[in-house]
Amino acid sequence: MPHKKIQFNFQELMNLIFILSPPVTFMIYLHVQHTINTLELIVFFIVTALPVIMTVQHFQRKLALLDRETTLQIHDNRATKKNQILLMNIMEKLSDPILILDSADRILMANKSAHSLLGQQILKQNISVFIRNSILDDAMKHAHETGELVSCEFELGKPNPKHYLTRIHLFDLADSQITDSSQYIFLALYDISALKQTDKMRADFVANASHELRTPLASIIGFIETLQGPARNDDQAHDRFLSIMHDESSRMSRLIEDLLSLSRIERDQHIPPSDRINLSHLIKSVIDVLEPQAESKNMAIHFTSENMNNITGDHDQLTQVFQNLIENAIKYGDENTDIEVTFEASMLPDHIAAKDVTVTITNEGPGIAPEHLPRLMERFYRVDSARSRSLGGTGLGLAIVKHIIKRHKGRIFFKSELNSTTKVTLSLPIGTSPPPLS
Ligand SMILES: Nc1ncnc2c1ncn2[C@@H]1O[C@H](COP(=O)(O)OP(=O)(O)O)[C@@H](O)[C@H]1O
Ligand SMILES: [Mg+2]
């Protein structure tokens, strides 16, 4: 709030003396001459005193106003100081590194985050000593030249660099009473590594999906051209090529199905599932569907299930999970071996929540080397791409499983020994029925 300056007005004082002096002088004169009676004295007194009283009152009002304004100013100064401390505290506690530089790019102030990123002895030194980066140098130069807000992105830190978005605000504070330098720079560094990682994953995903679709499509186009050209009259080649084209187009169709499925699951990721499911029945029906596939490799699926309560989940999505896991056990298991599906569940009454059920699927086969285990659930990740493709795999099955289990707040672990057993353990919370909609 701006303060009005209140001062005693010299002109007003002169006016007062000017008004009072003639009657006072005249009264004194008459009194000395003994020519004034009591009534005249009273009249003279009123005439003389009235302007004096009014003027005194006027000065009293001015003094009161001055006093009030001074008190307000003291209050204001205290509030400004308090706000400054508050601002400093906020800046200090921000998780993003923040620096204030002078016009020569020397660091005047740095918050805690900036200190932990760049070091403790950074004050009064030039920023370029701590961030040696040509992108930042150019951006600073541009900010100085134009006075505009400048943003730039660069990597910082070793051995695991982080990606930072930096904003450079230039302030011209030449008129301010608090500074002796004319320009200040407010520099904020925002860690956008996670965003960059997501961006990269999306780009990789699009590239992988395109590649997966392009391969069967190229093969179909190739066979069509062969059938139209050199193999035009070759009946045997016709049958063989049409059968390959059928397989390739089925592969494309499965891939598109999986891609759509993945995008649907991602879309509904934050909607809690609400079906009441008898998991034992669900697994049994999945095994019934996959039994012929297992028999074709002379494999048997043994399912041991305990009696249990229903769980809360999404029926179709959990069917998809067990279809993929049991189908993987068949596809990547050795012929003439058995697959075990075991099922443990607590016998708690239905209304008691948050106890897990655990399903374990075990198969015998070549197994998975330890270095592949952490990456199995990535999209399009396969241990042996050629084998997976030849078995009709899209490489998306476990990525879909991962998303569904995440939605169900469950957990999944792989344990595998080379040329021995592979064990997938899946636990899901039993959950309770959601409250009825009001
Ligand atoms: N039970 C298993 N035994 C051995 N390898 C497995 C097993 N389950 C999954 N894998 C490996 O994990 C990869 C990813 O599986 P998945 O996402 O289901 O893709 P797909 O089955 O379409 O290839 C498979 O290609 C395979 O290499
Ligand atoms: Mg699979």
| Rounded distance from Cα 108 to ligand 2 centre (Å) | 58
Encoded tokens for 117: 């990123």
Residue with the smallest CA separation from ligand 1 atom 7 is: 328
Q: What ligand 1 atom has the least distance to the C-alpha of 366?
A: 4
Closest-CA residue to 149 (of 162, 139, 136) = 139
Q: What ligand 1 atom has the least distance to the C-alpha of 393?
A: 22
Q: What is the mean pLDDT of residues 203-215?
A: 93
The pLDDT value given to residue 10:
64
Alpha carbon distance 53, 16 (integer Å): 11
* pLDDT at 435 exceeding the cut of 50: no
Helix axes 235-267, 193-228, angle to 10 degrees: 160
385, 373 in Cβ contact below 8 A? no
The pLDDT value given to residue 115:
94
Mutate to test the pocket of ligand 1, among 208, 328, 341, 396 (most ligand atoms within 8 A of CB): 328
H or E, element range at 400: helix 397-407
Which protein residues touch ligand 1 with a CB less than 6 Å away? Answer: 324, 328-329, 332, 363, 365, 368, 376, 382-384, 388, 393-398, 422
**Cβ-proximal residues to 290 (8 Å cutoff; 6+ apart), any chain:** 301, 323, 326, 327, 330
Q: Model-level pTM greater than 0.85?
A: no
Closest-CA residue to 266 (of 427, 376, 408, 400) = 400
Residue 418's alpha-carbon distances to 332, 333, 363, 384, 424, in angstroms, are 12, 12, 12, 14, 14
Alpha carbon distance 126, 101 (integer Å): 8
Alpha carbon distance 157, 159 (integer Å): 6
Say how many C-beta atoms besides its own lie within 10 A of residue 241's C-beta: 19
The pLDDT value given to residue 174:
63
Q: What residues pair up with 253 in beta bridges, in sequence order?
A: none
**Cβ-proximal residues to 44 (8 Å cutoff; 6+ apart), any chain:** 23, 26, 27, 30, 36
Alpha carbon distance 370, 415 (integer Å): 9
The pLDDT value given to residue 6:
47
H or E, element range at 83: helix 38-93
The pLDDT value given to residue 345:
67
For 220-234, 290-304, 335-349, 372-386, which range has the lowest pLDDT when averaged over its residues? Answer: 335-349
278, 310 in Cβ contact below 8 A? yes
Mutate to test the pocket of ligand 1, among 325, 385, 388 (most ligand atoms within 8 A of CB): 388
Q: Which ligand does the CA of 392 lie closest to?
A: 1
Mutate to test the pocket of ligand 1, among 382, 412, 416, 421 (most ligand atoms within 8 A of CB): 382
CA 216 to chain centre: 38
The pLDDT value given to residue 179:
52
Residue with the smallest CA separation from ligand 1 atom 3 is: 332
Q: What ligand 1 atom has the least distance to the C-alpha of 327?
A: 21
Mutate to test the pocket of ligand 1, among 290, 376, 405, 424 (most ligand atoms within 8 A of CB): 376
Q: What is the mean pLDDT of residues 294-302?
A: 97
- What secondary structure letter does DSSP report for 301? E
Residue with the smallest CA separation from ligand 1 atom 9 is: 328
Nearest 5°: the CA angle 398, 399, 403 is 110
Cis omega (within 30 of 0) on the bond before 230?
no
* pLDDT at 175 exceeding the cut of 90: no
| Rounded distance from Cα 377 to ligand 2 centre (Å) | 10
* pLDDT at 3 exceeding the cut of 50: no
| Rounded distance from Cα 274 to ligand 1 centre (Å) | 29
Coil, helix or strand at residue 429: strand
| Rounded distance from Cα 391 to ligand 1 centre (Å) | 10
Q: What ligand 1 atom has the least distance to the C-alpha of 385?
A: 25
Alpha carbon distance 374, 368 (integer Å): 11
pLDDT, averaged across the chain: 86
What share of the chain has pLDDT > 90, as a percent? Answer: 62
* pLDDT at 193 exceeding the cut of 70: yes
Which H, E and C letters describe 126-176, residue by residue?
EHHHHCCCHHHHHHHHHHHHHCCCEEEEEEECCCCCEEEEEEEEEEECCCC
In this prediction, residue 119 has a pLDDT band, given cuts at 50, 70 and 90, of very high
Burial of 20 (0-12, 13-18, 19+ CB in 10 A): middle
In this prediction, residue 77 has a pLDDT band, given cuts at 50, 70 and 90, of confident
The pLDDT value given to residue 52:
72
| Rounded distance from Cα 400 to ligand 2 centre (Å) | 9
CA atoms within 13 A on the CB side of 83: 6
* pLDDT at 4 exceeding the cut of 60: no
Tokens 């590194």, residue located: 97
The pLDDT value given to residue 46:
74
Encoded tokens for 364: 């015998």
147, 172 in Cβ contact below 8 A? yes
Q: What is the mean pLDDT of residues 389-400?
A: 92
Residue with the smallest CA separation from ligand 1 atom 6 is: 332
| Rounded distance from Cα 394 to ligand 2 centre (Å) | 7
- What secondary structure letter does DSSP report for 277? E
In this prediction, residue 182 has a pLDDT band, given cuts at 50, 70 and 90, of confident
| Rounded distance from Cα 154 to ligand 2 centre (Å) | 39
Closest-CA residue to 209 (of 78, 384, 395, 386) = 395
φ, ψ (nearest 5 deg) of residue 33: -80, -5
Q: What ligand 1 atom has the least distance to the C-alpha of 396?
A: 17
| Rounded distance from Cα 422 to ligand 2 centre (Å) | 14
Q: What ligand 1 atom has the least distance to the C-alpha of 389?
A: 23
φ, ψ (nearest 5 deg) of residue 233: -110, 15
